[in-house]
């Protein structure tokens, strides 16, 4: 379990190590000829350091070339679909938090199918089903039913829901789920409880061990990430990279993706603790690509359109498009959003931009028949 590794690594020590990186350290990594296989976690630390920011152009060029050689000029498009905004947790940064007085909604079968019709009409074949975390209202039976409905319409079904038990992940895999996304939010154990004071999510270790349970269940793909803006993004990202490295070694047959959610405005008063600039986000994406050449890197519509258009060719492999962040949002909704999207263009508009840059907008790249 990754939770047994974590206590041996000091947050403060990593923070200190980042300040000691020199320009020579960064130059040595970028001048290697075999930069597609031999990079280490220490290299990742160097590349996310403040010193490496001066080498962003070189990092972006290397990241772009590694991405094209591994993935071609392809961007996979997916649609997140919120099934429910019910949640038993208090997360201080989230619009769905238990104590927020918002209209709550869990989609019925009929409403789910209405959403599918609209999403499908845009051309999507890959869907990400999202819920808040509620044991009873969106428990395993609800999820299995939603997945069964989704499988009739989409070739690739992924989920981002409450952490579950291993046997439940096995059931979801059997039902046709391709990938499970679960974000640790922050690896800073001491402050984690401040952001998650109530509910099952306040159990740091249970969440941390979730990718192990997903891997043990044999899921095809696991997505991880941190919520950028809670704690020092460099240290949190280093821990996330360590987690990824551990998972790749432990569950070597599984595919992985990393996402980069930055805190966005929402219902409530949360102010980000730290701010990650767009340049720093690009630096982070390039560092992942250079050190983890085979990992899928995903950029959501939380980011503004102009920024997404510039950086997707520099390391990204999948993007959401035309996203709605409320249950029923594609067909109709009066419920509240989890967060504001920044890129409000339609899926077709995003696909057109991708093609204009001589990239392929990929609506479908996987089918159960291929397994």
In the complex with ligand SF4, the residue whose CB is nearer, 83 or 147, is 83
Q: How far is the CB of 104 from ligand SF4 (least distance, A)?
A: 11
The DSSP-derived string for 83-123 is EE-----B-TT-TT-TTS-----B--HHHHHHHHHHHHHTT
Q: How far is the CB of 185 from ligand SF4 (least distance, A)?
A: 8
Q: How far is the CB of 298 from ligand SF4 (least distance, A)?
A: 18
List the beta bridge partners of residue 188. Answer: none
Binding site for ligand SF4 (CB under 6 A): 87, 89, 91, 94, 96-97, 132-133, 201
* 143: nearest Cα among 225, 239, 135: 135
In the complex with ligand SF4, the residue whose CB is nearer, 97 or 317, is 97
Please report, to the nearest 10 degrees, the dihedral formed by the alpha carbons of residues 185, 138, 364, 252 taken in order.
50
The region that residue 329 occupies, defined by phi over 0 for left and psi between -120 and 50 for alpha, beta otherwise, is: alpha
In the complex with ligand SF4, the residue whose CB is nearer, 125 or 185, is 185
Q: How far is the CB of 366 from ligand SF4 (least distance, A)?
A: 26
The DSSP-derived string for 173-191 is HHHTEEEEE---B---HHH
Alpha-carbon distance 158 to 229, whole Å? Answer: 25
In the complex with ligand SF4, the residue whose CB is nearer, 47 or 91, is 91
Unique residue bearing structure tokens 């974590």: 6
**8 A C-beta contact, residue 149 and residue 115:** no
Q: How far is the CB of 194 from ligand SF4 (least distance, A)?
A: 13
In the complex with ligand SF4, the residue whose CB is nearer, 59 or 222, is 222
In the complex with ligand SF4, the residue whose CB is nearer, 29 or 138, is 138
Q: How far is the CB of 84 from ligand SF4 (least distance, A)?
A: 9
In the complex with ligand SF4, the residue whose CB is nearer, 74 or 88, is 88
Provide Rg for the chain, Cα atoms: 20
Helices 278-291 and 233-250, axial angle in degrees (round to 10): 20
Q: How far is the CB of 86 from ligand SF4 (least distance, A)?
A: 9
The region that residue 266 occupies, defined by phi over 0 for left and psi between -120 and 50 for alpha, beta otherwise, is: beta
- Residue 10: phi and psi, rounded to 5, are -90, 125
List the beta bridge partners of residue 361. Answer: 75
In the complex with ligand SF4, the residue whose CB is nearer, 91 or 228, is 91
Q: How far is the CB of 339 from ligand SF4 (least distance, A)?
A: 9
């Amino acid at each position: 379990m990754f939770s047994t590794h974590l206590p041996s690594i000091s947050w403060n020590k990593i923070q200190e190590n980042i300040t000691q990186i020199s320009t020579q350290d960064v130059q040595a990594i970028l001048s290697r000829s075999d930069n597609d296989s031999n990079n280490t976690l220490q290299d990742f630390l160097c590349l996310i350091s403040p010193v490496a920011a001066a080498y962003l152009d070189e990092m972006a060029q290397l990241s772009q070339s590694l991405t094209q050689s591994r993935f071609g000029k392809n961007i996979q498009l997916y649609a997140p679909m919120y099934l429910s905004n019910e949640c038993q947790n208090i997360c201080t940064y989230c619009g769905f938090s238990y104590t927020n007085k918002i209209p709550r909604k869990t989609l019925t079968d009929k409403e789910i199918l209405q959403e599918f019709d609209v999403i499908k009409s845009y051309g999507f074949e890959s869907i990400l089903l999202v819920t808040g975390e509620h044991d009873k209202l969106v428990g395993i039976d609800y999820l299995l039913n939603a997945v069964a409905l989704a499988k009739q319409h989409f070739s690739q079904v992924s989920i981002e829901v409450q952490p579950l038990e291993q046997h439940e992940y096995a059931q979801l895999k059997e039902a046709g789920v391709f990938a499970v996304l679960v974000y640790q939010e922050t690896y800073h154990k001491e402050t984690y409880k401040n952001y998650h004071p109530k509910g099952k999510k306040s159990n740091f270790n249970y969440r941390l061990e979730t990718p192990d349970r997903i891997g043990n269940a044999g899921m095809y793909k696991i997505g991880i990430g941190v919520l950028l803006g809670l704690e020092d993004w460099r240290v949190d990202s280093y821990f996330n990279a360590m987690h990824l490295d551990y998972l790749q070694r432990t569950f070597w047959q599984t595919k992985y993706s990393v996402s980069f959610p930055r805190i966005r405005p929402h219902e409530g008063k949360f102010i980000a603790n730290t701010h990650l600039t767009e340049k720093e986000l690009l630096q982070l994406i390039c560092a992942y690509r250079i050190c983890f050449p085979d990992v899928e890197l995903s950029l959501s519509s939380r980011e503004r359109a102009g920024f997404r258009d510039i950086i997707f060719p520099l390391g990204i492999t999948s993007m959401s498009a035309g996203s709605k962040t409320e249950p029923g949002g594609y067909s109709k909704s009066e419920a509240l959003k989890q967060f504001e999207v920044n890129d409000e263009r339609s899926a077709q508009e995003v696909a057109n931009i991708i093609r204009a840059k001589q990239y392929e907008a990929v609506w479908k790249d996987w089918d159960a028949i291929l397994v």
